[in-house]
Structures are given as C-alpha cells and as structure tokens.
Amino acid sequence: MGNLVKGVNLQKEKISVKNEGGDILLEKLAQEIANITSEVIGHEVLITDKHGIVLGSSDQSRIGTLHQASLGAIFRRKEMTHNEVVSSTLKGVKPGITIPIELSGEYVGTLGITGYPNEVAKFGMLAKKYAEILLREEIINKSSLLRERALQSLVQEIAAFDPNHSDEMLLLTRGRELGYDLKPPRITIVIDLFQFNHITSEIHHQALKKDSPEIYIQSLKINIESKIKKTFSNNQDITVSLGSDKYVVFHMLDGEIHEEEICETIKKKCKQLISALKELGIDASIGIGTIGSLTDLNNSYHAAWRALRIGKKMTDHPEIFYIKDFVLEELLSYIHKNTAHHFVEETVTKLTQYPDYDELFRTITAWCESSLSPINSSKALNIHRNTLFYRLNKIEQITGKNLRNFRESLELYIAVKLMQILEPESKGN
C-alpha cells in the first residue's frame, strides 16, 4: 500500500484538487449520491475523486480530506475491504468497503461505505450502480442540452440564410453534423403554445411547498415536445424549441411535390397535434409556411411566422394558419402604418362609436367572404336573413357605403382587415 500513496500529501488539513473530465461531473453530484445512498442503506457513505479526495460525504466534515483506501481501489480496479486493523493504518479511512466508480471506461473516483465489511458488502454493487447510472444520466442530459443548442443555432443560420451571400456548403455541413440532410425540400411549421406563461405561473402558484413546480413544468415540456415529434415523426424532421412556449419544425417532404395535397396533409397533422396537446391541457396556434429547398427554407421559415402573427390577429382563439390563406392580409401588412391608420379612420372608425361595432365588423367580413350573398352570409353568421339586412342597412347608414356595390364593400372589408392587422401583438401570450 505504501507504493500506492507515495507522493501523496498526507497532511490532516483538507486538500483541494482541481478535477478534470469525469471528475468535474462526479464533483457536481457527489454530495447528492452520498446523501441519498446513505439514507437508503443506513450507513455512512462518501464519494472521492480518482486522487482519493473526498468530494461528498454523509459526514460532511470529511469533504476535502484524503481517503487513502480509494487509491488502492482505483489502482487495483476492484472493491477493497478494510477492517478496523487495516483502516487504522490508512489515512482518513474507517472500517468498511471502497469501490471504484467507472464512467465510459475510465475510473473517475470511488464510493466508500462505512461499517463492518461483511455487513456492508451487500450494498456495494447496488450503490456503485446507482452512482454510475446517475453520472451517465447527467452526461445524457448535458449531451441533449448541447444538441438542443446546436439545433437552435442551426435554425438561426437557416433563418438568416441569403443564397446570394451565405455559404450553402457550410450550412449543409452543419446540418450533416447533426444528422440532417438539408437538400430535400421542407415545409416550416411553427407552434405557439397559447398562454403557456400563464399556465406555468399557475403551476408555481398552486404548487405545495413539498412539491417542485420546476420538475412538473419540465415534465410538461418534455411531453409537449414528444407530442410534436410523434406528429412529425420523419427522422429527417427537425424539431427545435425556441424559448419556453414556441417550437419550429422543418418537415421533410417525400416524393413528388403537389402543393395542395401537401398543404391538406400538413393541416391534418396540425389538427392531430392540437388534439394531442389538448390532452395535456395545452392549446396552441400553428403557422404553416411555404415549401422550400435549402435556398428557400429561410423564406418558408419567415412565412410561417408571418402566418402565425397575422392569423392570431384575425381570431381570438388558437387555430391553424397557412400563409397562402392570408395573401391579402400579408399584402396589407406591408402598407405604411400612417397610411393604414388614415384609411381606417376615413372608412370605418364611425362604426367603433357603436356598442355593437364588433358585430358589425363580423358582418362586413362575412358579407364580403360570402361573395355578397345574403343566404351564404346568414349561414356564416348563423343569423336570420332579416337580421342580416338590418345590420347591412345600419352599416350603410353609418359609413355611407353601398354594400350592394362590390368596390365599396371591398373598401369596408379592407378597412376591417387593416384594423385587425394594426392591433398590438398580444393574443396567446
């Protein structure tokens, strides 16, 4: 044993060692492993690094000191037992057992259990496996976090991609490094969880002191992402979370491209996703962009967000919004705000002075979207035709517009759309 500890400082004061590699991970979890294991088996437990320095212990006075038996366990790569006689000859050692901890083929430290060796030996393998599982889980969590950050970075690069100035091969390589072929065409789907910040606030508010709201919220997020990935399950579909309440999916398209069929298929999938999220008590709005290869994927990405932004202003409840269903609204969104405000002021502001203005706006919208048809408009609004005519006459009297005239009806329709577009972006937050 003397050769094993040669050159090691045996002073009684605590020793500080800068750990590297697996030691850093072990140092982070050492106290947790020691506390939980000790509580379960009813014996004192300590964790050391590969240099024999105690990183965590149920007896915290031992942290930072040398546990000499650990050096022998690391050197021999097997469990060491030390009774009262043997432990009295070793620095910082009590009767018990010491077991090396292995991580990815490397011995990163040891686990020691205090007690009569014959009594505590039965706990040795269980405690060792628990420590190693916890360490592996931490590695997996760290790897997942690093991958998530890399995917978020990839999304940012796609969003900023300019085929005239950006390096296409570099972006293809970045995708390949993460396991994705960015050459095939894709369509972008963006998901905005409806009032998710309010939901998480409620979880915090309702949580009891003994509960951990963060664990529940994290579990909820994992389930949400699982639902999204189950819906868009191609192994080349890129799914990334952006913040706590938004997700983006670059869904890869197989076979021939028939845009109308693809659109209907994607909308169907989105409806399935909304239903799946409702099972978790979550509502969501979804924006669908255009189809694009790598050079057009940035346009698809931004189009999906525009669809979501415009769509949320057109309705006060979560829905699915496809950018090509909002051609007019998207065009109107580019009008200068001062010009838009002036047009609204001149056309429909008088209607807002009436308590039923919202009802009148819905009537204008239904009238124009039903091709000025009384029958179809009544059905769309679920009202009697006489009620429809009463509203139309009221609108004509207030605005001076003839709703039997296509051009004048269109002016009112555009003004209503502009009012919605000019509303601040607050829905769904």
CA 117, CA 97: separation in Å to the nearest integer?
6
The last residue of a domain, from among 300, 316, 331: 331
Q: Is residue 153 part of a domain?
A: no
For residue range 178-198, list pLDDT tens digits in order: 999 999 999 999 999 988 877
Q: Are 284 and 192 in contact (CB under 8 A)?
A: yes
Do residues 303 and 363 both lie within one domain?
Answer: no
The last residue of a domain, from among 310, 331, 352: 331
Q: Is residue 387 part of a domain?
A: yes
CATH of the domain at 124: 3.30.450.40
Relative to beta strand 246-252, strand 238-242 is antiparallel
Q: Is residue 4 part of a domain?
A: no
CATH of the domain at 378: 1.10.10.2840
3-state secondary structure of 286: strand
Q: In terms of Cα–Cα distance, which of 224, 187, 162, 157 is closest to 304?
A: 187
Chunk the chain into consecutive blocks of 10 residues (it has 429) and report each block's average pLDDT, rounded to whole numbers. 36 35 75 92 94 94 95 93 94 95 89 94 92 87 88 94 90 94 96 85 67 76 93 95 93 85 94 94 94 93 96 86 95 95 95 94 96 96 96 97 96 96 68
Beta bridge partner(s), residue 81: 97
Q: Is residue 398 part of a domain?
A: yes
CA 121, CA 113: separation in Å to the nearest integer?
8
Alpha helices in 117-237 (DSSP H): 117-159, 168-177, 196-206, 213-231
What percent helix, strand, coil does the chain show, rounded to 5?
55, 15, 30
Residue with tokens 């949320």: 312
Do residues 350 and 230 both lie within one domain?
Answer: no
3-state secondary structure of 415: helix
Do residues 251 and 307 both lie within one domain?
Answer: yes
Q: How many domains does the chain have?
A: 3
Do residues 194 and 290 both lie within one domain?
Answer: yes
CATH of the domain at 209: 3.30.70.270
Do residues 356 and 302 both lie within one domain?
Answer: no
Task: State the greatest distance between any 2 C-alpha atoms of the chain, in Å, as a whole number.
Answer: 106
Do residues 318 and 356 both lie within one domain?
Answer: no
Q: Is residue 107 part of a domain?
A: yes
Do residues 366 and 302 both lie within one domain?
Answer: no
**CB atoms closer than 10 angstroms to residue 209:** 5
Do residues 295 and 375 both lie within one domain?
Answer: no
Do residues 280 and 297 both lie within one domain?
Answer: yes
Q: Is residue 291 part of a domain?
A: yes
Q: Is residue 149 part of a domain?
A: no
User: Long-range CB contacts (< 8 A, 24+ apart) of 172-176?
Assistant: 172/294
3-state secondary structure of 376: helix
Q: Model-level pTM?
A: 0.73
Do residues 309 and 387 both lie within one domain?
Answer: no
Q: What is the pLDDT of residue 138?
A: 85
- Cα–Cα distances in Å, from 227 out to 152, 201, 380? 19, 22, 33
Strands laid side by side in the 246-252 sheet: 238-242, 246-252, 186-193, 284-292, 320-322
Do residues 266 and 378 both lie within one domain?
Answer: no
The last residue of a domain, from among 294, 310, 331: 331
Do residues 227 and 298 both lie within one domain?
Answer: yes
Q: Quote the domain boundaries for residue 399.
A: 335-422
Q: How far is CA 365 from the centre of its chain?
A: 37
Q: Is residue 226 part of a domain?
A: yes
